[in-house]
Amino acid sequence: MQWSDTLARMQHIGGIELMQRQPWAGLNLLILQAFTTGCPTSVQRRVSRRSSVPSPLHKSLELFRFLRRDEPAVPARKKNYVDTRPFDVNLTNMKLKASKQDRRAYSQTTRAAAAAETGQRIVDAFIDRLLVQWFDEITLDQVAADAGVTVQTVIRRFGGKEGLLDEGARAMGARINAKRGQSVGNIVEYVDSLYADYEQTGDAVMRLLALELRHPSVMLVTNHGRREHRLWVTACMENFLKHFAEPDRQSVVDTLVITSDVYTWKLLRRDMKRSIPEAKSITVKMIEAILSGPLSR
């Protein structure tokens, strides 16, 4: 189609007047140049001025199709049409099923690790408070602020202070077992590990023991601690206990548990104001007296 034919077609449909009245209908000069040839410079300037206001692209395309309607139509694609034109494939941007699964697995692992880290941070914040405060004075607001989370996050993860106490007691038990170890057959090392634990947690344990009758959740924790303490004493003293026959063996275990109890530590360190070396020396002498007593064979 030549430029003269295009102008005639536009004049026939009122295209020139339409461009003058409604700037949105003016054809962009670049579109005109795409399908016409031999357009005079004066006409280009005229159309450019009429097209100064951007027109919607779809309206320009509609007018373009109308002006070119004498061209043969593109044949409709058949049902089983196969486009044989060459194309490029960018492997970088291909979304493969396997890569989606890998990304999903990685995302789930990352979220799980972040959730575990958040939970551990909350428990650590609660334990830090428990070591210096009474249980009934600790608030969820304090724990949340220390852990850098919201109160709702603490409640969603642990349900409240009772859930925090339960989880905190398990974490503290694991720390105590790791700190104490099992000094089998060596009384001095046994007492050293005992006092290393009590010097850090003894005051907190005493506060929990003072509250156990008022809070059932606290009593569950303290009773669990009593059982674990007895098992630890029995395991550490096994080499000595084998020299005692039943029922004397259980009596010796009871005496060793009392000697190694947190109440004995409090009596020596807090009430009698004994130094750590003095308190350790007294505890070692009491244990040696029990093991060499008349009940041994």
Q: Where are the alpha helices (DSSP H) in 137-247?
A: 140-147, 151-158, 161-180, 187-211, 216-236, 238-241
Q: Which structural domain, as residue segments, surrounds residue 45?
A: 3-67
Residue 221, in any domain of the structure: yes
Share of the chain above pLDDT 70, in %: 62
Residue of 6 and 220 predicted with greater confidence: 220
186 and 145 co-located in one domain:
no
Within this chain, do residues 189 and 284 fall inside the same structural domain, yes or no?
A: yes
Bigger pLDDT: 149 vs 72: 149
In a domain, 176, yes or no: no
Query: Residue 132 sits in a domain of what CATH number?
Result: 1.10.10
For residue range 200-211, what is the model confidence (pLDDT) as tens digits?
999 999 999 999
Q: Give φ, ψ of 198 to 5 degrees.
A: -65, -35
Q: Per the confidence metrics, is the pTM higher than 0.75?
A: no
Considering the domain architecture, whether residues 61 and 154 belong to the same structural domain is answered as no
pLDDT tens-digit readout, 71-87: 444 455 555 656 566 65
Residue 225 and residue 19: Cα distance in Å, rounded? 90
Residue 199 has pLDDT above 80, yes or no: yes
Most confident of 40-54, 98-112, 180-194, 272-286: 272-286
Q: Residue 265: is its pLDDT beyond 70?
A: yes
What is the band of 297 on the pLDDT scale with cuts at 50, 70, 90?
low
Same domain, 255 and 186: yes
| Cα 160 to Cα 74: distance, rounded to the nearest angstrom | 71
Residue at token pair 């029990």: 290
What pLDDT, on a 0 to 100 scale, did the predictor assign at position 52? 46
Comparing C-alpha atoms, which of 297, 277, 275 is closest to residue 285? 277
How many distinct structural domains can be found in the chain? 3
In a domain, 280, yes or no: yes
The answer to whether the beta carbons of residues 294 and 224 sit under 8 Å apart is no
What band does 10 get if pLDDT is binned at 50, 70 and 90? Answer: low
Q: Indicate whether 76 belongs to any domain.
A: no
Q: Is the pLDDT of residue 25 over 80?
A: no
The beta-carbon contacts of 112-118 under 8 Å, at least 24 apart in sequence, are: 118/147, 118/149, 118/153, 118/157
